[in-house]
Structure formats: C-alpha cells, structure tokens
Amino acid sequence: MTSQNGYHLASACSSEGATNLGYSFDEEANGDTKNNKGKEAAAKESVLPLRVESSNQLTELSGTTTKKEMKSKKKKKKAKSGSEDVDKLKSEMEMDDHKIPIEDLFSRLQTNAVTGLSERMAAERLLRDGPNSLSPPKDTPQIIKFLDKMFGGFAILLWIGAVLCFIAYGIQFSDDPKPAGDNLYLAIVLVVVVAVTGAFSYYQDYSSSKVMESFKNLIPQYALVIREEKQLTLLADQLVVGDLVEIKFGDRVPADLRIISAQSLKVDNSSLTGESEPQSRSSEFTHDNPLETKNIAFFSTNVIEGTARGVVIRTGENTVMGRIANLTSGLDTTSTTLSREMAHFVHIIVFIAVTVAAIFFIIALCFGYEALTAIGFLIGIIVANVPEGLLATVCVMLTLTAKRMARKNCLVKNLECVETLGSCSIICSDKTGTLTQNRMTVAHMWFDNTIFEADTSLTQDCCGFSRDSPSWIALSRVAMLCNRASFKPGQERTPVLQRECNGDASESALLKCVELSIGNVTQHRAAAPKVCEIPFNSTNKYQVSIHELDCDGEKRHLLVMKGAPERILERCSTIKMNGREVDLDEQMTEYFQKAYDDLGGLGERVLGFADLFLPSDRFPIGFKFDNEEVNFPLDGLSFAGLMSMIDPPRPNVPDAVLKCRCAGIRVIMVTGDHPITAKAIAKQVGIISEGNQTREDIAKARDVPVDQVNPWDATACVVHGSELKDLSSADIDDILSHHSEIVFARTSPQQKLIIVEGCQRLGNIVAVTGDGVNDSPALKKSDIGIAMGITGSDVSKQAANMILLDDNFASIVTGIEEGRLIFDNLKKTIAYTITHMVPEMVPFLLYIAISLPLALGTVTILFIDLGTDIIPAISLAYEKPENDIMQKPPRNMKTQKLVTDTLIGVAGGQYGVIEASAAVFTFFVMLGQQGFFPSETVQIRASWDDKSITNLEDSYGQEWTFAQRKCVEYSVYSAFFMSIVVCQWANLLACKTRRNSLVQQGMINHHLTVSLLLETALCLFLCYTPGLQEALKFYPFRWWYWICPMPFALLMMTYSEVRKVIAHRYPGGFVERELLF
C-alpha cells in the first residue's frame, strides 16, 4: 500500500531478500530493491512478541512466536558472527545510505517518514535480524585459561621434572620397600611451586580479556520510537531497520541513524573518530565518507546538544560500532615477547638436559649398570637441569617491576607485558588525550592586525599582549557575552583551566580564556543581561545575542555575534584597530584573510567576533526583539577580531618524544582527526621534527604541484585515510620503510589495525596508545596496547595490556625504561641461575662415570634452588641501569635473545665450571680428611652404598660401617652445598653487571647486600642447626672447610672484572662479542 505522502509501505518483508536492506559493508554498495520486492511473498506469518513500555507491561503482538524461537534465532546469529571473516571486517565500510535522496531511502527501507513502521513489520524484522545488540564472542573458558597458566611455557618443564621424580621414586620403590624419599619430596615441591606460581599468574591476568562486556555498556537502554504514528519508549534492543527514532540532548544514539531533521544537533564522536570537538549533525549530505558526513549519527555516540529525528539504517552487529566489536573480539591476542623468550629458554634447557642425560644413560649401560638403574640416572640428570626456582623468581621480579611502574602511573594488566614495552621499536600513538590535553584551549588571538599567542599552560601566567588594550577588551566582551557556556557551581578554588563547564568545548575554552584575562565573567554577564538570542545553526554558521549594557551612564543594547570568520566578516562594515573603528576596505580584508589562513594552517579552529551598539532611538530599553522574524540589524557590524582554539599538546610530550627518538623508537601519530590539525600537533611535539618536510611542504617551497614531487624526497609524510584505503600492503610497507616521520589522519578503526599489522610485518614490536572505542582493534592486535586511565573508554581499557593512570604520553617513556631494565635484569638472573645448575649436575655425572659416592642429595639441591639462591636472584630486580639504557636502540628480536649461546657459555661453561671445580675440590678434601684419598675414592660407590658391607676400609686401613659412611656422606652434602653458596656470592657480584665494572656500578643495591647476608644465614642455619641431620640430611662440618671454595670464588670475581675491563677498552673485540652476555 501507499501512504498519503507517497511512500511505499510493505506489509511484510522477505527474510532473505532484504537482509542487507540496500547497504553492504564489503560486497555491495547498493541494495537490489527489485529483488526485495520479488521476494516479499516469502514473508513469514508468525511474529515475535514485542516489548512496548506502556504501563511497564509486555504487549503480545502475536502469540504464534515463542521465546524458544527467539533463542534459536540468537544462536544462529552467534554462529554466523563467530564464523565471520576477520579479514572482511578489516575492509572499509561501503554504503550509500547517506548519499541517496531521503525519499529513495524510505522506499528502500520500506518505511514511512510520518507514521514509521507498523508493529507487525517491526516484529517481523526483529525476528529476521535479531535484537539490536552486540552478540558476545565465543570466549575461551576460564578453566582452559587456568590450565594454560598451569601447564604452558616454562611450567611444563617443571611438570615434566615432577613426573620424572615420581617415576624415579617408583623405580627405587621397586628395588627397596623403604627407599629414600628425596625424589618424592622433590616431586611434591615441584608440584607446589608450579601450582602456586600458575595460580598467581592466572589471578593477575583474570580481568584482561572481557572486551565485549565493555561494548555492552555502550548500548543505550531505551529509545523513543515512532510506530503507527505513536511515540513509544522501547528497550533499545527492540529497534529494527526502518524505525523512526527521536534523540535529544543527553541521549545515546540507539542505532546508526540517517538524520531526517535536526535542531542544533551536536554529537560526541571522540570515541569513534578521535575528534575532540563535538560534531554538528543535520539532514545535509556533506561527504562521501560515512564517518565524516553530517547526516549520519552513529550507534552509542552521545548527543551533546539539540534534538533530531532519524531513521534506523543499521542495528546491532551491522552498525559501525558492531563491526568494531566483532573485529576486536575476532582478533587473536599477540603473544608477549617474554613468553616467546621463555619458550626459547625452555627449548634450550630441554635440549641440554636430554642430550646430557642420553649420553650418560649410554655410558651407564656401557659400564654394566642395569637398565632400570640407568633410567634412574637419566631421570636424575634431567631433574638436575630443571631450574626449580626460576619460574617463581621471574614471576616475583615482574610483579616488583609492575608495582614500581604503577607508582609511576603505568598500570600493567599482564605481567609479561612489562618486558614487551621495553622491546618496542614503534609507538603508534593516538592524538587526542594522549599527546594533547583533551581540552580545547584558546591558542591565538588576532586583533589590531597582530596575531598574539596565548599561553596554553595550566597557569597561563605569560601574556603576550596588554590586557587593557581597547581592542582586546572589545573582543573579550563579545567572547564572554555571545557564549552559552558557564562554570559548574562550587569550583571557586579550582584553577580556571581545570574547572568543569556546562556547554560545548569551544565555548568553554572561550569562557576560560576571558575569565583568566578579564576575570569575574559571572558578574560581567549579570551586568549585561541577555534579552534576545539566535542560536548557532549549520546554515547561518553564526550565533547572535543582544544584551542590555550600561555605556557611559546610558543603558543601550549591544548586539554581539560570533561564528565562522568569513560569515562574520561579510556582515561587517568596519573593523576595530587600536581602539578605533576603521572602514573594512580591501586592504583590511587582505589582512584578515592572511591571519585567517595562518591560524587555519596551524590546525586550529578559528572563530570570528563582531559587535554593534544598536541605536537607542530605534531600539530603546524594553524593545521586544524577535529572533524568528528578525526585527533588528544583522549587518553593518564592527569586526572585533579572531580567536583560534586547539587541543594543546601536553607540556612534557615533546621531551618524551625526543627521548623515544634517542632510544631508537619511532613515534607514529594515528588519529581520526583532520590532517591539518594532526600535522600541526605532530610538529609541536616533535613527531615531525624541525627541518623535516612533507611532500606538500616541498611542493609549497618549490611552488610546484604536489604530484610533481617525488614522494621519497620527503622524510616526513601525512597520509589521509581516504588515500590509505586504496593502498596495498606493499604500499603501506613502503611508506613505513621510506619515511622516518609519519602521521596518519582521518583513519578508521580498520585502518588503524592495518597500520599496526604493517609495522609488525616489518619485524617491529609495536605499542599502540588509544582511548576510544575506535582504538580497540589496534590495541588488541598490537604487541602491547596502552589505554588511557582517565579519558579512556571501558572498551579500550579492556582491550589494552597497560593503562596510563595519568593519560600522559611521558609515562610511556618511563614504562619503556623499566621494560628495558627488567630485560637486562632477567638476563642477569638467568645467568646467575644457570651457573649453579652445573655443580648440581656434576655429582650425578661423577657418580655414573667414575663411581664416586654421591656428593649432593636431591633435598640439598632443593634448598639451593628454592632457598639460598632465590632471594639473591630476586634482588637483581632492584639493580639500577648500568648505562643510559634510553640511549641505545631497541634490541634485535632475532639476535638479542633473553638467553643466548654466549650467556649459556659464560654462565654454564665458565662460571659453572669454576663453581663445580670448587665444590668437587671441597668434596675430595673432606673425604681425604676422613681417610678416603682420591685414588681410593674412585670406583668405591658400589661398596659405599652396600648396606651389607660394615667394614669398608679407607686409605689408612680404618673400617667404616654403613651408618658411619652415611654420616660422612651427609657432611659432604653440607660442604658441597656450602661451596656452591660461597661461589654464588662471587657469581652474584659478577652477574650484578653485564658490562660495567663492579667499581663503576657500586654497591648501591642494598637489597642485593641483604640477600647475600640472608643466603649466608640460611646456609649456616641448615648446616649447623641441631635436629636437621635426619630430617634434611644436613650434617655439620668443621669451619676451615669454608676456606676451600674461596680461592675459586676469588678467581671467578677476578675473571669477571678483567673480562669487563678488556671489553670496555676494546669495544667490538672478541671479548665483547663472545664473552659478554
């Protein structure tokens, strides 16, 4: 049927033919309405019960459809969403709903501009398309995440060690009904260690993946809908395509709308496009890009001002916000650099352990050991290679660093990301709120034919002009009176620039500027009451108000006007110059145009101001002004000047960008804002440094068209989003490779993601900063996403790995420094840990190879790994940087690994061998003192461990029972343990620095000093405390045995210092390349 207005109304819609209703994101730009009409006969008879808020009750429009059908529909929709191709979501949105005439759109959507949809049609579309909501993605169950923390990465090595210990204990039990419990104790301890650290890591990361819940918070709760010419308040998830919706100040837009009519409508698109200034909306088609045209209002954006009526063109996951939600949730989380490094370390340890164990398993078989015994040896060697305490040490070190970063306003959600930030080589930074202060501020004024720069600091104590200038007084008076912004009450003691205002950002900036300069704005306004006003609208592009003003003792009417400078100027006949009004001639117009172009070129929003004292004889006090049928002059005004506003850079951002540059980190601006504004801010903060030119700058300097300039001649470039969408991956890679300073402007969320992927393709570790919903896909895809804590949306915070509590870019530099420091300190910790693995493994090798009595028990190893060594290892987390770590480039991810061949060679092959030599020397000295000379000790193991031999002779002919031999063995355990501890003193000091001499670095790390004392105290406690002999097999020994390992410790220290001195003196030489890790 056809309505009285001639719009086609359909009683039913095809569930298939009108699925896209004339728009497509990727496949088609236009719908095939003919096919839709041809399929109308396929409409379903059953409709869904629709909730209409009338007396808060649900109204059944039809009883044939049940909730069960609705659930089935939801499941199908979820399945469809779950299988949607992420690559398709990355493509730019294509649609023409904002381009076609409104009559054609209503025909396409099969709705009516006056009556709206019928209830039956709305119910059918709801059944077909599903609710206007975002379907949650298929999330990984929490139990899977928990098991990943328990069994993933380094933890699996400890589990393997625990299983092998249980097997070894089983083998012992098969030979002896009462075996020693060493392997059992070790297995239990390993299980406890991995369980505790895994649970702790899971707890830390628990809240980092619930992105979709934040998107749900963006969904408006209710909407004012017109159906069958009735206004209904419905739950927003009941909206369908074709519904007529009314929105007003304070509302969230409930779906993507094509604006039919609007009255002073402004929306906040900052979370979607990055524009800090509220955007006006009207029925006018102004741009091919749907994100920039004025006749589209987007789902979940906030209405700042005015009212409007619109028609729903997309709902739920088909909205722009829905596409971002699906894109964000569909992306795989990038593994952290530390997790990759730890996996690399695990592979190395497993290779070494298995190789050594296999070799000695074969040796044991060759020496005639039984296969079961040889398997026991193999397991023992593998377990000896497992650094039981390293997982806990790394976890604690990362936690300490994360707490230190939190005190510096960097909140880390995932502990492993602490190191990732230090490895980053590119920062893709948003502009608004990160590089800038996220507050519009007056930056420049033009009056008396001079551009004055305003101070944009919080204090604004620097002023480049006289505040008593007649021209400035006139300009500030217009800015103060022709202004609807006001300060919120109760902020008298708050600094002016930090006060909250009622009103839009531009008028608030003008208000604060005048308050700082003139002061007492409220009193001035009270003295000049407003009697008439014409609000700003997109057609006139100006705002007018008339005030009663006391002028030289006479009450007069003052008309004040502000708006687009060119519109204001064309209504003026004079201009104020140095306290006088002069004719606005051609020369003055040229002065104005030059100032206007200069300020606009700085990326600032420029407003013009004018005033006019109305003649008292025609407009006496009490005159009835009419703002509808205007009965007062709007021409012949006096131009007062220009004021330009910008969201100014944060004061410490330029210094932070310079530090990043010195550290070899590129900072790329990626913003949804205008290219001119983005370029201006980039130059102010140093992203485009002084002297570097873009292609446009070179063309301007040469006075030639831009297309005649070779793009590769420019070191800097500004890429518009409209250009970016036509570029291939190779083109993007070329831009990123050939230009050192880059600004991407007017970018969509999909383009931000593509830029991040391009940087990663080139082998970079990418950090992304952002605060809006539009940043969330890039935040999640990046190696480390950084959200803003104050201005950031919940969505961006959930997608990010780190949150800046102060929204300050400079805090990122602090985080990078901490990340680089923790990488250095982790290398030192791993080197320290690997060293003692060698002397722990040597007793088992000697036990097999030359049949020596076992020099070190399994329980003793536990007390080294989880007792004496863990505190010193953790103390390295407090070590200060050796040099200025922000003066060297980011590490090469392929060559500068956390664990390298050089590190293993120095720690294990050099320090470890010295330490093992010290312990074995002590072992032989102690046995020799008891009567067992080295020559007699070799090949004595079988007799030593034989319980039936009660008269084993030593080198002096003394006989030893089995119990006496075990007392000596356990004393040897203690002495061997002590030797490792003494050498670990030297090892800790050697690992304290990687390149600096200990003299250069000093002993300012008091945590390390305390850890040395605690390590020694624990060793003394275990070796000399009565009662521990039977329980822990620690027997006391004479004090002079402490001297045995000390020469070796001194050798280790001397070797370390000489090595570092030579490397420092001959940089790039053999010692630095091969002997420094």
Q: Rounded to 5, what percent of the chain is helix, strand, coil?
A: 50, 15, 35
Quick check: 417 and 401 in contact, CB under 8 A? no
Query: Which tokens hold the place of 43?
Result: 């409409």
Quick check: 908 and 834 in contact, CB under 8 A? yes
Hey, how many other C-beta atoms are within 10 angstroms of the C-beta on 202? 16
Q: What is the DSSP string of 881-917?
A: PSS-GGGSPPPPTTTS-SS-HHHHIIIIIIIIHHHHH
Query: What pairing do the DSSP bridges indicate for beta strands 410-412 and 302-314?
Result: unpaired
Q: So which residues are the catalytic ones?
A: 430
Query: Which tokens hold the place of 608?
Result: 């013009």
DSSP state of 744: E
Q: What's the N-to-C CA distance of the chain in angstroms?
A: 82
DSSP state of 876: G
**3-state class of 572 per DSSP?**
strand
Quick check: 304 and 266 in contact, CB under 8 A? yes
Query: Which tokens hold the place of 531?
Result: 């009697």
Query: Which tokens hold the place of 40?
Result: 């109308």
Query: Which residue, chain included where needed, has tokens 């979501």?
Result: 89
Angle in degrees, CA 169, 171, 174, rounded to 5: 110
Q: What are phi and psi of 129, to 5 degrees?
A: -95, -15
223/246 Cα distance (integer angstroms): 8
Hey, how many other C-beta atoms are within 10 angstroms of the C-beta on 346? 18
Tell me the CB-side half-sphere exposure of residue 251, using CA atoms within 13 A: 22
**3-state class of 309 per DSSP?**
strand
Hey, how many other C-beta atoms are within 10 angstroms of the C-beta on 497? 18
Single-letter amino acid, residue 82? G
Q: What are phi and psi of 52, to 5 degrees?
A: -120, 125
Residues contacting residue 1015 through CB under 8 Å, at least 6 positions apart? 868, 869, 871, 872, 981, 984, 985
Q: Which residue, 162, 197, 200, is CA-closest to 389?
A: 197
How many residues would you count in the chain? Answer: 1077
Query: Which tokens hold the place of 369?
Result: 């050991």
For residue 741, CA distances in Å to 30, 427, 926 come to 39, 12, 68
**3-state class of 215 per DSSP?**
helix
Quick check: 1010 and 1076 in contact, CB under 8 A? no
Hey, how many other C-beta atoms are within 10 angstroms of the C-beta on 87? 9
503/509 Cα distance (integer angstroms): 10
Quick check: 1007 and 1001 in contact, CB under 8 A? no
378/364 Cα distance (integer angstroms): 9
DSSP state of 116: B
1063/996 Cα distance (integer angstroms): 10
Q: CA torsion, points 192, 198, 199, 202, in degrees to nearest 10?
A: 180
**3-state class of 999 per DSSP?**
helix
Q: CA torsion, points 614, 617, 623, 629, in degrees to nearest 10?
A: -60
Query: Which tokens hold the place of 631?
Result: 């009965």
Q: Please state the separation of Cα 946 from the chain's center in Å.
A: 63
